[in-house]
């Protein structure tokens, strides 16, 4: 409603270097505070991504990184902790220990409570010492459980926001558990922040092949004309992990796989995949198109969803524990660790095309991919030349997001020789073979974007509302009716129900 929130100022400086009043060019500085620095995500992803950006020369000249959490730690202890997870992955051959030392010298720690303005005021003092007379830009990364997001935003905004530059906040998922709690979180954040200061992260949007989706579609004449119900039979968006919720059972049991993976990562991929051509590559133009897709989706029916939960399984003499064997998970938990769903977009482009999503933990393989199955060739002249499996006659485009990034198109081809026999071969763009440079981690791209004020890969509040609008009724129904997940053995292909769901729409999972 245009009412300025209390606290953080978003005014001012988008650029990292600003001209001073005398025109001499007063420099700016970026202070990055990782809130929850003692935690898993900070160690595993955020500090390593910041180091990689530093190593690549992508961070501004003047920056500092502060860890903030309740655990008592000195600067030296933080550096020791962080150094264990920094890697020289960009160029294994180069000795990057010098760079690592330089980076670690820029890392500091401040212990404090998450709901204490006084503790954030102490942090503010330390930040100011480093910022000096420069324009101060501040980035807070909330790498903490969601129930304390608002405490932190309030205290940081009142006691430690920038006085003369920008202040931005990266918020980690989960953004609520349903439409109501998500809206309440957004309302809470907006008491202290403008929407353009909130960077809701979905790290799948920072993955190279997800970012490439629009390039593939909109810069290649051959794909876009085929990108509709006229030629596409179904689209599959698949996420699978070959390990369970190990160590995160407590968190996971409160959310489940639909909230953990489908409502955000897979739905975002789907929106990017299905959106109309944006007016430009500007963040708002892209997000406008994505939100239209989300709002055009047919309400999700419970009978278009299959849920599962992994159970223990012994293989090769090794016992793999079931989900409820985790001590932090109630033994009677009905939380799904697997889900498959059939979704539909009610618009002219996609009417009737099933978008099948599948997400699961403790499956037989680790992969994330998009599979586009095209329609049969009408009046296929070569039908008899494939052997018995007619399905082989259709084209399939596979975008393998991870691991071993690749884009390949399955085409029908004549097997060389005197006869006329066809098989299906791949036109294969294998990233490791084509590009020698290592692909940056999603967190690197997203952190850099947040520092640069680029919002394209972050989730806007209306997108979030639409995403929850789609999944909340289903989640409520599953929970109210106590629908029991189908059990599947650890390391298997998941519940057979997923195959029946696909078969209902004449689809075979890729």
Residue positions annotated with a catalytic role: 265
Q: How far is the CB of 388 from ligand NDP (least distance, A)?
A: 45
Q: 49 burial class (0-12, 13-18, 19+ CB within 10 angstroms)?
A: buried
Q: 155 burial class (0-12, 13-18, 19+ CB within 10 angstroms)?
A: buried
Site for ligand BG6 in 175-204 (CB under 6 A): 203
Q: Mark the segment that binds ligand NDP (CB under 6 A) among 170-178, 187-195, 340-348, 409-417.
A: 170-178
145 binds ligand NDP (CB under 6 A): yes
Q: Report which DSSP code applies to 21.
A: T
Q: Where are the alpha helices (DSSP H) in 325-389?
A: none
Q: How far is the CB of 228 from ligand NDP (least distance, A)?
A: 34
Nearer to ligand NDP, 41 or 409 (CB): 41
Separation of alpha carbons 243 and 364, rounded Å: 9
Q: How far is the CB of 41 from ligand NDP (least distance, A)?
A: 3
Separation of alpha carbons 462 and 291, rounded Å: 7
Cβ pair 340, 221 in contact under 8 A:
no
Query: Which residues are CB-contacts of 457 (< 8 A; sequence separation ≥ 6)?
Result: 202, 205, 206, 211, 445, 446, 449
Number of neighbouring beta carbons within 10 Å of residue 260:
24
Site for ligand NDP in 334-393 (CB under 6 A): none
Separation of alpha carbons 153 and 337, rounded Å: 31
Separation of alpha carbons 114 and 117, rounded Å: 8
Per DSSP (E only), the strands in 381-439 are 396-402, 406-414, 422-430
Nearer to ligand NDP, 41 or 334 (CB): 41
Q: 260 touches which of ligand NDP, ligand BG6, none (CB within 5 to 8 A by kind)?
A: ligand BG6
Nearer to ligand BG6, 208 or 325 (CB): 208
Q: What DSSP letter does each residue of 135-172 carry, written as one string?
A: EEEEEEEE-S-GGGHHHHHHHHHHHS--SSS-EEEEEP
The closest alpha carbon to 108, from 72, 73, 65, belongs to 65
DSSP three-state, residue 372: strand
Q: What spatial distance separates the first Cα and last Cα of the chain, rounded to whole Å?
A: 47
Separation of alpha carbons 475 and 268, rounded Å: 18
144 binds ligand NDP (CB under 6 A): yes
Q: Mark the segment that binds ligand NDP (CB under 6 A) among 90-98, 166-174, 358-366, 431-439.
A: 166-174
Q: Which of 110, 138, 154, 173 binds ligand NDP (CB under 6 A)?
A: 173
Instruction: For residue 430, list its beta bridge partners.
Output: 406
Q: How far is the CB of 368 from ligand BG6 (least distance, A)?
A: 6
The residue with tokens 């009978």 is 303
143 binds ligand NDP (CB under 6 A): yes
Site pattern 52..91 for ligand NDP (x: CB under 6 A): -----------------xxx--------------------
Q: How far is the CB of 201 from ligand NDP (least distance, A)?
A: 8
Nearer to ligand NDP, 148 or 411 (CB): 148
Separation of alpha carbons 314 and 429, rounded Å: 37
Q: What are phi and psi for residue 207, nearest 5 degrees?
A: -75, 140
38 binds ligand NDP (CB under 6 A): yes
Site pattern 89..128 for ligand NDP (x: CB under 6 A): -------------------------x--------------
Q: Which of 117, 124, 131, 260 binds ligand BG6 (CB under 6 A)?
A: 260
Q: Mark the segment that binds ligand NDP (CB under 6 A) among 172-180, 303-311, 324-332, 422-430.
A: 172-180
Cβ pair 359, 268 in contact under 8 A:
no
Separation of alpha carbons 98 and 287, rounded Å: 41
444 binds ligand BG6 (CB under 6 A): no
Q: Which of 15, 26, 41, 412 binds ligand NDP (CB under 6 A)?
A: 41
Site for ligand BG6 in 459-488 (CB under 6 A): none
Q: How far is the CB of 250 from ligand NDP (least distance, A)?
A: 8
Give the nearest residue (CB) to ligand NDP.
39
Nearer to ligand BG6, 7 or 244 (CB): 244
Nearer to ligand BG6, 73 or 213 (CB): 213
Separation of alpha carbons 232 and 396, rounded Å: 9
Q: Are strands 305-311 and 313-315 parallel, antiparallel or unpaired?
A: unpaired
Nearer to ligand BG6, 260 or 326 (CB): 260
Q: 289 touches which of ligand BG6, ligand NDP, none (CB within 5 to 8 A by kind)?
A: none
Q: 69 touches which of ligand NDP, ligand BG6, none (CB within 5 to 8 A by kind)?
A: ligand NDP
Query: Which residues contact ligand NDP (rule: CB under 6 A)?
Result: 36, 38-42, 69-71, 114, 143-146, 148, 172-174, 251
Query: Which residues contact ligand BG6 (rule: CB under 6 A)?
Result: 203, 241, 260, 368
């Amino acid at each position: 409603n245009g009412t300025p929130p209390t606290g953080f100022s978003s005014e001012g400086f988008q650029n990292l270097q600003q001209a001073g009043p005398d025109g001499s060019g007063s420099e700016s500085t970026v202070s990055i505070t990782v809130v929850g620095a003692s935690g898993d995500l900070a160690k595993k992803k955020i500090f390593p991504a910041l180091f990689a950006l530093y190593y690549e020369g992508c961070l501004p000249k003047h920056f500092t990184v502060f860890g903030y959490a309740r655990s008592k730690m000195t600067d030296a202890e933080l550096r020791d902790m962080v150094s264990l997870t920094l890697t020289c992955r960009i160029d294994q051959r180069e000795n990057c220990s010098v760079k690592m030392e330089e980076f670690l010298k820029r890392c500091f720690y401040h212990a404090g409570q998450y709901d204490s303005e006084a503790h954030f005021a102490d942090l503010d003092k330390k930040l100011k010492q480093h910022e000096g007379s420069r324009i101060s830009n501040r980035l807070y990364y909330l790498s903490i459980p969601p129930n304390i997001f608002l405490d932190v935003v309030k205290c940081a905004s009142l006691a430690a926001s920038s006085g003369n530059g920008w202040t931005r906040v990266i918020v980690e998922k989960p953004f609520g558990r349903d439409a109501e709690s998500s809206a309440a979180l957004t309302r809470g954040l907006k008491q202290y922040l403008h929407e353009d200061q909130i960077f809701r992260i979905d790290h799948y949007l920072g993955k190279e092949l997800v970012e490439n989706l629009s390039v593939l579609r909109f810069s290649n004449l051959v794909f876009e004309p085929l990108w509709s119900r006229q030629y596409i039979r179904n689209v599959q968006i698949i996420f699978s992990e070959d390990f369970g919720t190990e160590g995160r059972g407590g968190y996971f049991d409160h959310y489940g796989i639909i909230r953990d993976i489908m409502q955000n990562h897979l739905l975002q991929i789907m929106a990017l995949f299905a959106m109309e051509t944006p007016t430009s590559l500007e963040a708002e133009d892209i997000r406008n198109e994505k939100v239209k897709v989300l709002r055009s989706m047919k309400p999700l029916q419970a009978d278009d969803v299959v849920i599962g939960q992994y159970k223990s399984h012994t293989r090769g003499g090794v016992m793999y524990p079931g989900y409820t064997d985790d001590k932090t998970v109630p033994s009677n938990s009905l939380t799904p660790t697997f889900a498959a769903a059939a979704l539909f977009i009610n618009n002219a482009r996609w009417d009737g095309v099933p978008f099948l999503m599948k997400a699961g933990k403790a499956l037989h393989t680790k992969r994330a991919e998009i599979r586009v199955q095209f329609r049969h060739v009408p009046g296929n002249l070569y039908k008899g030349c494939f052997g018995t499996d007619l399905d082989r006659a259709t084209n399939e485009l596979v975008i393998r997001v991870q691991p071993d990034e690749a884009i390949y198109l399955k085409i029908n081809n004549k097997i060389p020789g005197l006869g006329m026999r066809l098989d299906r071969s791949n036109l294969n763009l294998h990233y490791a073979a084509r590009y020698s440079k290592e692909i940056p981690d999603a967190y690197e791209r997203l952190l850099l974007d947040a520092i640069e004020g680029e919002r394209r890969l972050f989730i806007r509040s209306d997108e979030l509302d639409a995403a929850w609008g789609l999944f909340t009724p289903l989640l409520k129904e599953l929970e109210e009716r106590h629908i029991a997940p189908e059990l599947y053995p650890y390391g298997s292909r998941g519940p057979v129900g997923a195959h029946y769901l696909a078969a209902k729409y004449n689809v075979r999972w890729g």
